[in-house]
Amino acid sequence: MRRYNMLKRKAIIFSLDAIFAVVVAGLMILACFLHLSQTTTNIHQNQDIYKISLDSLTILEKDRTLKTAVETNSAATIQSFLDALPEQFCGNITVRTSAAVLVLSAQKAGCTEKNESTSAVRAFTAGNSAVYYAGMKAWYK
């Protein structure tokens, strides 16, 4: 009698492969949503920071700040320029001789160097027409 009652009950056949199929479909849809919802980083940001570096070195060279800094052995004006960079930017400027000997360096206050940075280099002359290389590394805060 008990067995007869069990046979009378309704059942749902939901095989293991069907469960797998539903789970895989669900996971794929979820993965697509997660992938699409990820915020894409601004592809122009590295270009911006590189341009800022190049601009900085160019104007410091053209207004003779770099030349004066080498000749007076003072990076005070370069430091003022770096400190006035926009809030989100950090950077440092180093000046080396053609033999790669460090002459001057300055870094924006409140910044610590990061691995993800861009760098630009500009050559200029100072003193007895000696060639120096100014390098600027810049990164986002």
Partner 1 sequence: MGKAQIFSLDIVIAAGIFIVILLSTAALWYYGGEKMRIEESRNDMELITRNALAVLIETKGNPSNWTAHDFTTSDIQSLSLADEFLLLNQTKVSSLSEANYSTTKTLLGVLGPDYEFRLDINTWNGTAYAANYTIGLEPNASASEIVKVERFALLGNTWTKATIRLWKSCEDITC
Q: Do the strands 130-140 and 102-107 form a parallel or antiparallel pair, or are they unpaired?
A: unpaired
Cβ distance to partner 1 smaller for residue 42 or 128 = 42
Work out how close the CB of 131 gets to partner 1 at its nearest, in angstroms, rounded to a whole number.
Answer: 21
Residues binding partner 1 (CB under 8 A): 10, 12-14, 22, 25-26, 29, 32-33, 36, 40, 42-44, 47-48, 51-52, 55-56, 58-59, 62-63, 81, 84, 86
Work out how close the CB of 101 gets to partner 1 at its nearest, in angstroms, rounded to a whole number.
Answer: 28
Cβ distance to partner 1 smaller for residue 26 or 127 = 26
Cβ distance to partner 1 smaller for residue 6 or 13 = 13
CA–CA separation, 61 and 65 (whole Å): 6
CA angle 113, 118, 122 (to 5 degrees): 110
Beta bridge partners of 21: none
Cβ distance to partner 1 smaller for residue 58 or 125 = 58
Beta strands in the chain (DSSP E): 89-97, 102-107, 118-126, 130-140
Axis crossing angle, helix 76-83 with helix 45-62, rounded to the nearest 10: 150
